[in-house]
């Protein structure tokens, strides 16, 4: 499995996490079963978890693929640590918190994840930071009192995340290089906004192909509609993995 991914030592399909952006548990379970062996894991987000909670998570996880739980926790350190303890029994492979919660929040999140994994006898999940949401641009940052550019802020938050015990960062394809330059190779870059050659871009503004993203330094590719919207999702995932292998 994709425990410590490096460009040379991991099979391409392990890098692909398929985003199941749905509230329909039955549909999510069917897709997760179909994709077993074709992708490295499944991403479940706020939409799915708010609708279906821990039970829905477990039903998808029962398909046998690792789960990326993308809930983007952001609160005072004590509350974030408590939320992490609450989801720890589900044993997600990775989950997200906002780096803008600050250094202490990040440290407490990393500590809570490690403590709970040890307590439950699980592998420690990757605690992944969210930096500047891609829905925000420079003028949005200025409006909330951040005078630096988006790129400068992403680089700063990436470095801060690694310094404070996080395992990686979610970043857009165009931020891969600057996040990589701000951190070392052990720090994982989780990258959405991926589109195979010739597939519909949809509402994604800045996209990159799977092969280019891996070449640029992405560890995990989060891919939704190009797989879930395909007539044959397993075949679509296989084609994407093959395209990474070149
Ligand atoms: O269907 P698509 O491949 O665009 O799905 C990408 C997934 O990655 C969705 O779950 C989306 O919410 C998520 N995501 C994103 N861009 C970000 C952060 C997360 O597309 N900046």
Whether 19 is in the pocket of ligand 1, judged by its Cβ within 6 Å, is yes
Index of the ligand 1 atom closest to the CA of residue 225: 1
Whether 192 and 219 have beta carbons less than 8 Å apart is answered as no
Residue 185 and residue 179: Cα distance in Å, rounded? 10
Q: What is the domain partition of the chain in residue ranges?
A: 13-245
- Burial of 128: CB neighbours in 10 Å, binned 0-12, 13-18, 19+: buried
Please give the mean pLDDT across all residues of the chain. 95
Residue 28's nearest CA partner among 13, 45, 16 is 45
Q: Which residues contact residue 80 at a Cβ distance below 8 angstroms, ignoring those fewer than 6 apart?
A: 73, 74, 97, 101, 105, 108, 109, 112
Q: What distance separates the 2 farthest-apart alpha carbons in the chain? A: 47
pLDDT of residue 203: 85
Bridge partners, 222 (sequence order):
17
Rounded CA gap, 204 and 15, in Å? Answer: 20
Q: Given ligand 1 and candidates 18, 47, 97, 192, which is best to mutate, with the most ligand atoms within 8 Å of its CB? A: 192
100 phi and psi angles, rounded to 5 deg: -70, -5
45 within ligand 1 shell (Cβ under 6 A): yes
With a 6 Å cutoff on the Cβ, whether 243 touches ligand 1 is no
Q: With contact defined as beta carbons under 8 Å apart, do 69 and 42 qualify?
A: no
Distance from Cα 110 to the centre of ligand 1, integer Å = 24
pLDDT digits (tens, 9 = 90+) for 167-221: 999 999 999 999 999 999 999 999 999 999 888 988 888 899 999 999 999 999 9
Ligand 1 pocket, 66 CB below 6 A? Answer: no
Q: What is the pTM of this model?
A: 0.94
Quote the pLDDT of residue 150: 95
Q: How far is the CA of 199 from the centre of ligand 1 (A)?
A: 15
Which of 17, 18, 19 to mutate for ligand 1's pocket (most ligand atoms within 8 Å of CB)? 19
Query: For residues 155 and 180, what is the distance between their CA atoms, to the nearest angstrom?
Result: 9
**Is the beta carbon of 192 within 6 A of some atom in ligand 1?**
yes
In this prediction, residue 85 carries a pLDDT of 98
Å from CA of 224 to ligand 1 middle? 7
User: Is any ligand 1 atom within 6 A of the Cβ of residue 210?
Assistant: no
CATH code for the domain defined by 13-245: 3.20.20.70
Which of ligand 1's atoms lies nearest the C-alpha of 194?
3
**99-110 burial, b if ≥16 CB within 10 A, otherwise e?**
bbbeeebbbbbb
Other residues' Cβ atoms within 10 Å of the Cβ of residue 216? 16
Calculate how far, in angstroms, residue 134's C-alpha sits from the geometric centre of ligand 1.
10
- How far is residue 103's CA from residue 154's CA, in Å, rounded to a whole number? 15
* Bridge-based pairing state of the strands 16-19 and 220-223: parallel
Element housing 98 (H / E): strand 94-98
CA dihedral defined by 81, 5, 99, 55, rounded to 10 degrees? -40
Ranges of residues in the chain whose predicted pLDDT is under 70: 1-9
Question: Which residues carry out catalysis?
Answer: 72
Taking the centre of ligand 1 as the mean of its atom positions, its distance from the CA of residue 124, in whole angstroms, is 24
User: First-to-last CA distance in the chain?
Assistant: 21
Protein residue closest via CA to atom 16 of ligand 1: 192
Q: Which pLDDT does position 221 carry in this prediction?
A: 98
Rounded to the nearest whole angstrom, what is the distance from the C-alpha of residue 43 to the centroid of ligand 1?
Answer: 10
b/e sequence 48-62, b meaning 16+ C-beta within 10 Å: bbeebeeebbeebbe
């Amino acid at each position: 499995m994709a425990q410590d991914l490096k460009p040379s030592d991991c099979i391409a399909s392990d890098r692909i996490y398929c985003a199941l952006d749905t509230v329909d548990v039955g549909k999510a379970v069917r897709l997760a079963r179909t994709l077993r062996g074709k992708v490295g894991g499944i991403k479940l987000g706020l939409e799915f978890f708010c609708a279906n909670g821990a039970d829905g998570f477990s039903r998808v996880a029962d398909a046998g693929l690792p789960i990326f739980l993308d809930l983007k926790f952001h609160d005072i350190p004590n509350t974030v640590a408590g939320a992490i303890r609450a989801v720890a029994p589900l044993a997600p492979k990775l989950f997200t918190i906002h780096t803008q919660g600050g250094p202490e929040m990040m440290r407490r999140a990393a500590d809570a994840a490690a403590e709970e994994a040890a307590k439950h006898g699980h592998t420690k999940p990757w605690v992944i930071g969210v930096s500047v949401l891609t829905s925000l641009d420079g003028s949005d940052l200025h409006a909330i009192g951040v005078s630096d550019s988006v790129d400068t802020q992403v680089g700063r938050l990436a470095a801060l995340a690694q310094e404070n015990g996080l395992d990686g960062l979610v970043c857009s394809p165009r931020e891969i290089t600057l996040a990589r330059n701000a951190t070392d190779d052990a720090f994982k870059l989780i990258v959405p906004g991926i589109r195979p050659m010739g597939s519909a871009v949809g509402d994604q503004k800045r996209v990159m192909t799977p092969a280019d993203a891996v070449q640029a330094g992405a560890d995990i590719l989060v891919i939704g509609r190009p797989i879930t919207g395909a007539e044959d999702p397993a075949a679509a995932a296989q084609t994407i993995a093959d395209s990474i292998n070149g």
